[in-house]
Amino acid sequence: MAENDSLAEFLNSAVDAAKSAGEIIRKGFYQTKQVEHKGLVDLVTETDKACEDLIFKHLKQIYPTHKFIGEETTAAYGVTELTDEPTWIVDPLDGTTNFVHGFPFVCVSIGLTIGKIPTVGVVYNPIMDELFTGIRGKGAFLNGNPIKVSSQTLLVKSLLATEAGTKRDKQTLDATTNRLNSLLYKVRSLRMSGSCALNLCGIACGRLDIFYEVGFGGPWDVAGGAVIVTEAGGVVYDPSGKEFDITAQRVAASNPLLKDDFVDALRQSE
C-alpha cells in the first residue's frame, strides 16, 4: 500500500511540473521564437531550456535523492547512464519543430523509471489541453478518463504513425522512404505528427493503431509514453520484435493483436 501511495505521489508531482511547464509552452507558442540548431534540421528553443529547468527544479526540491536525465542537460553535459535508482527522464518540449511552426502537436513528457522499468508517465499537450497519465499496474488516463488501445486486428485497416527523423544523408533517407513505400501497401494510411511521445499516447487512446520510430533523440522521448501505452493494454517493443530497450533509440507500439503482423511487415520492408 505504501508503494502505491508513493507512486500516486510521484504522479501528482509530475503532473504539477508538466502543467507548470505547459504554461510556458502555451505562452511561447503564440510568440516569436528564438531558435537554435542542434543539427541541420534539429531545433532547440529558449522554451525547451526554460521548461527543463522548471521541471528539474520542481522535482529536485521534492525528491533530492532521485536521479535526473533530460534532453537539454544531456545535450549540454553529455549522456547520463540509466541506473536502477528512481530516475526522472524528461523531454521538456517534444515536438520542437512543431512548436517553431505553430503546429499544435507539442508536449511535455515526464517518465519515472524504477529499476530501469518505466513506472510513472505523464505526457501533457498544453495547446490542446490533453493530459495523458499512467502508473504501472494502475491503468492509463486522458484528462482523468480511462483509455485503451484500439481493437483493430488487420494491418490493412490500421493507421500507422512514424517519423522522418533529423538525419538528411542519402543512405538514411533512402532507407526511410523505401521502408515507408513497402509499408504503405499494407496499411490504411500514414501519419507523421512530429512527436514521439504523442504518437505513443495516440496508440494508448486508440487514435493510432501502429507506431514505430528509429533513431529518435533518447529515452526522454519514450519514458513517459511507454508506461501509458502498456497501461492502456498495448505493447511496446523493439521494431525487430525483441524486447523494448528504453536506451536503444528504437521503439514500436501497437495493440497486442497487431504486433506479430506489424513486426513481419517491418522485417519485409528492410
pLDDT tens digits, 31-89: 888 888 876 656 678 899 999 999 999 999 999 999 999 988 887 888 888 999 999 99
pLDDT of residue 74: 86
**Integer Cα distance of 8 and 44 in angstroms:** 32
DSSP string covering 89-135, please? EEEEEE-HHHHHHT-S--EEEEEEEETTEEEEEEEEETTTTEEEEEE
**Contact partners, residue 124, CB within 8 Å, separation at least 6:** 15, 18, 19, 21, 22, 107, 108, 130, 131, 132
pLDDT of residue 211: 98
pLDDT of residue 76: 80
- By CB neighbour count within 10 A (0-12 exposed, 13-18 middle, 19+ buried), where does 79 fall? exposed
pLDDT tens digits, 148-198: 999 999 999 999 999 987 777 888 888 888 999 999 999 999 999 999 999
pTM: 0.95
∠ CA(86), CA(51), CA(5), 5° rounding? 35
Collapsed DSSP state (helix, strand, coil) of residue 9:
helix
Could you give the percent of the chain with pLDDT greater than 90? Answer: 81
pLDDT tens digits, 71-85: 888 878 888 889 999
Q: What is the DSSP letter of 258?
A: T
**Integer Cα distance of 190 and 159 in angstroms:** 6
**Integer Cα distance of 192 and 164 in angstroms:** 8
